Amino acid sequence: MKRLLRSIDDIIAAAWQRVKSNTFVTPEDSSLFRIFFGLYFLLSHTPRYGWLNDIPDALYYPPIVSMGIFFDGFPPGIFVQIANIAQPILLFCVTVGIKARLTGIASALLNFVVTTFIFSFGKIDHSFTPWLALLVLSFSNWGTRYAVLPDKQSTSSTHSNCFAFLATFMVFAMFTAGLEKAKFWVDFDLSTNGFLSWFYLGYFSLGRDEMLAPLVLKIDPRFFEIADYTAVVFELTGFLFLIFSQRSWRLWLILACAFHLANTLLLNISFHFQILGYGVFIFRFSSFHQKIAAFIESKRAAIPTFVSLVAASAAIHVYQRIDSPGTSLLFGLLSKGEGPSPRLIIASIVWLLAIVMAVASLRLKDEKHPEKA
């Protein structure tokens, strides 16, 4: 029995080591991604909590397994206002590298606490994914480079464990979604279709009729039976791609970005914030880090200007939230006129660029894990 348990332990340890090797991201790459991560949050995905003050306690009904059961109602207005103002400030610190580890953890935990109350009257969505990425990556070395106040270097094992855990979580989340679809979509019945059930509800009831959605009505419904099975296979096999090799993991990321692009164009469901989870594995700069370092060194005088611009974006958020719930800077500036929603257009561009960069990353040499180098 001990030998069996030892063998199982060895297998798990070997599998985890492969995941660490396949998902390894250098501190330089992750530090550059930290800047993108923070800017993306500040421009398009900064959380707004002020609307919670308008929800009556009569609607408070928290899930049994949540921190919300310890409270009788939604949090007091002063707490919501402090959280609403604190988030842009914390995200500014993450972006420019002011103790990014501490401020990133604080930002993620603050959002998780407030989200407990957001989910306490039936509102459930997928927006927690980038916050989990922020929490996990804050323990890595992504705050040690390109930072105003750099973090102390953590061990290479701790650094690589962060990316391995994040990748494992992402494929597990896809697996659970695929498992649920497999129960109903893989029925070999041409008279039913999972994709079209989503499409028709969104198209005719929720107004999701933009981008390429009208083309779906002109395509033979039997084609989407293939799409059903393809989506299920993709979502269920992420672990295989993750364990096999670095290149297979990058290939799965290309498929994931294409999957989200298709959902944006056809179903008008963008989930553009998921790029904050995929992006750290996609945006690879290792081949020209010396050029980046030389450019930054030659433009050191521009660094205060960059920091000032990021600070200005955070200050705008704070100013907005003093008397109102606040808005997204990017989408708040873009008003929908004729044509597709600006949110869908930007999400489509984001996913297209992610696919291009992910394909380009296939040509890069595999990163050598420091524990094996």
Name every residue whose Cβ is closer than 8 Å to that of residue 87 and which is 6 or more positions away in sequence: 46, 47, 49, 107, 110, 111, 317
| Residue in this structure with the two tokens 């595999």, named with its chain if needed | 366
Q: In this structure, which amino acid lies at residue 43?
A: L
Q: In this structure, which amino acid lies at residue 28?
A: E
Domain ranges (residues) in the chain: 2-361
Alpha carbon distances (Å) from 87 to 47, 105, 110, 319? 7, 12, 8, 13
pTM metric for this prediction:
0.88
pLDDT tens profile 119-164: 887 656 667 788 999 999 999 999 998 899 999 998 888 999 999 9
Q: Which pLDDT value is given to residue 373?
A: 45
Cα-Cα-Cα-Cα torsion 125, 131, 132, 135, nearest 10 degrees, comes to -160
For the purposes of burial, counting CB atoms within 10 Å of the CB of 67, is it exposed (0-12), middle (13-18) or buried (19 or more)?
middle
pLDDT tens profile 271-293: 888 888 999 998 876 666 667 76
Q: Which pLDDT value is given to residue 90?
A: 96
> Can you give the three-state secondary structure of the chain, one letter per residue?
CHHHHHHHHHHHHHHHHHHHHHCCCCHHHHHHHHHHHHHHHHHHHCCCCHHHHHCCHHHCCCCCCCHHHHCCCCCCHHHHHHHHHHHHHHHHHHHHCECHHHHHHHHHHHHHHHHHHHHHHCCCCCCCHHHHHHHHHCCCCCCCCCCCECCCCCCHHHHHHHHHHHHHHHHHHHHHHHHHHHHHHCCCCCCCCHHHHHHHHHHHHCCCCCCCHHHHCCCCCCHHHHHHHHHHHHHHCHHHHHHHCHHHHHHHHHHHHHHHHHHHHHHCCCCHHHHHHHHHHHCCCHHHHHHHHHHHHHCHHHHHHHHHHHHHHHHHHHHHHHHCCCCCHHHHHCCCCCCCCHHHHHHHHHHHHHHHHHHHHCCCCCCCCCCCC
Distance CA 159, CA 164 (A): 9
Alpha carbon distances (Å) from 46 to 49, 87, 168, 176, 324? 10, 8, 25, 27, 14
pLDDT tens profile 83-131: 989 999 999 999 999 999 999 999 999 999 998 888 887 656 667 788 9
Q: Which pLDDT value is given to residue 318?
A: 86
119 Cα distance to chain centroid: 19
- In the chain (373 residues long), the average pLDDT of successive 10-residue segments reads 75 88 91 92 83 82 79 85 92 96 96 87 70 94 93 91 95 91 84 87 89 91 88 94 92 94 92 88 72 70 85 87 68 59 86 89 68 53
